[in-house]
Structure 1
Amino acid sequence: MTIYVALIRGINVGGRHTLPMKELRVVLERLGCRDVRTYIQSGNAVFGSGEEDGARLAGRIADEIGARRGFEPRVVALELAEFERALEQNPFPDAETDAKGLHVAFLASVPERPDLAALDGLRSESERFR
């Protein structure tokens, strides 16, 4: 059984696309996930699954939420080891003293042609990215 961290984007924000965490747990358990734990109303969950393909699992989660709630959120399902590796490889170790200011984004796939210049144009002076 593989331990996954599921990040479900765009739910429970501003009263739109509501998905109670109790229902998210039901969705995940219905998909065969075990030991499901959720974090506040964030749409983040940790669980075990026999599924070996995180992208396929993410698609199944989005489809099931869509069938139940009428909207399909973006879902990224990372193996716990991938999540831990991101923590260990933090390119901004100085930010660990003020972890509230450190933000990490996980993408479903590697961008083919990332426009880093455009991204750089959006950041404030206090922000850095890699």
Structure 2
Amino acid sequence: MTHLALLRGINVSGHNMIKMDVLKELLEKAGFTNVKTYIQSGNVFVDTDEEHGPSVGFKIKQEIFKELGFDVPVIVIGKKDLEACLQNNPYLKEKEADTKKLYFTFVSKELNSNSIHELKMSQVKPDEAIIDSNRIYIKYAVGAGKTRFDQKYIEKKLNVTATIRNWNTVVKLLEMYDE
């Protein structure tokens, strides 16, 4: 079974630097097969007999800590999660939707309908967000680099592990799922 592991907080501002070839080799030694990475921000496809995504994520997290000493949060998602991002994105229905401002946050647990209130969106306006299960659709007013509504904010408000990917990355990851 193929899983997509999203590693949070690697190769950002000189912290938790992990070369993708090193990560690939480390995961292959741990028993994963058909390991593929995409860009330096921690998108890794692995094949394994394990069907339970969180178990795969835990094993990847353990291996990175054991071999490299980094405590890296890992969220594992499936192809259906990526498809839902592109098919169900409510911001695409808007006239003149700008995909450069659309992002997706993947979180470590299912969120309920009240979770949107916990985000206190009035504190981060004019950015917008809509929650759908284990992902949050985001539309940034200006851009991801100029907002308070980032992964740390989301993690603190919802008490989850979160990682954010932009529109183009999600499109590419979905393409790679079938390669």
Q: Specify which structure has the bigger relative contact order, considering alpha-carbon pairs within 8 angstroms and separated by 6 or more residues.
A: 1
TM-score by shorter chain over 0.5: yes
Normalised to the residue count of structure 1, the TM-score between the two structures is 0.85
Q: Could you report, residue by residue, the CA deviation over 1:46-88 in whole angstroms, capped at 9, with x for unpaired residues?
A: 2322110000110110111001111211100112222222322
Q: Which residue of 1 aligns with 2:55?
A: 56
Q: Which residue of 2 aligns with 1:108?
A: 108
Q: Which residue of 1 aligns with 2:46?
A: 47
Tell me, yes or no, if structure 1 residue 66 matches structure 2 residue 96.
no
CA distance in 1 between counterparts of 2:105 and 2:53 reads 16
Greater CA drift, 32-41 or 61-70: 32-41
Q: Is the 8 A contact 1:5 1:83 kept in 2?
A: no
Q: For the structure 1 residues 55 and 115, does the alpha-carbon distance in structure 2 shift closer, same or farther, using more than 3 Å as the test?
A: same
Normalised to the residue count of structure 2, the TM-score between the two structures is 0.63
Q: For the structure 1 residues 39 and 122, does the alpha-carbon distance in structure 2 shift closer, same or farther, using more than 3 Å as the test?
A: farther
Q: Could you report, residue by residue, the CA deviation over 1:9-67 in whole angstroms, capped at 9, with x for unpaired residues?
A: 01111111111111111122123222222112111112322110000110110111001
Q: For the structure 1 residues 39 and 94, does the alpha-carbon distance in structure 2 shift closer, same or farther, using more than 3 Å as the test?
A: same
Q: Is the 8 A contact 1:27 1:61 kept in 2?
A: no
Q: For the structure 1 residues 90 and 118, does the alpha-carbon distance in structure 2 shift closer, same or farther, using more than 3 Å as the test?
A: closer
CA distance in 2 between counterparts of 1:73 and 1:27 reads 14
Tell me, yes or no, if structure 1 residue 82 matches structure 2 residue 81.
yes
Q: Which residue of 2 aligns with 1:128?
A: 128
The Cα RMSD (Å) is 2.1
Q: Is the 8 A contact 2:91 2:97 kept in 1?
A: no
Gaps of 5+ in 1: none
Q: Is the 8 A contact 2:26 2:63 kept in 1?
A: yes
CA distance in 2 between counterparts of 1:60 and 1:32 reads 10
CA distance in 1 between counterparts of 2:124 and 2:56 reads 33
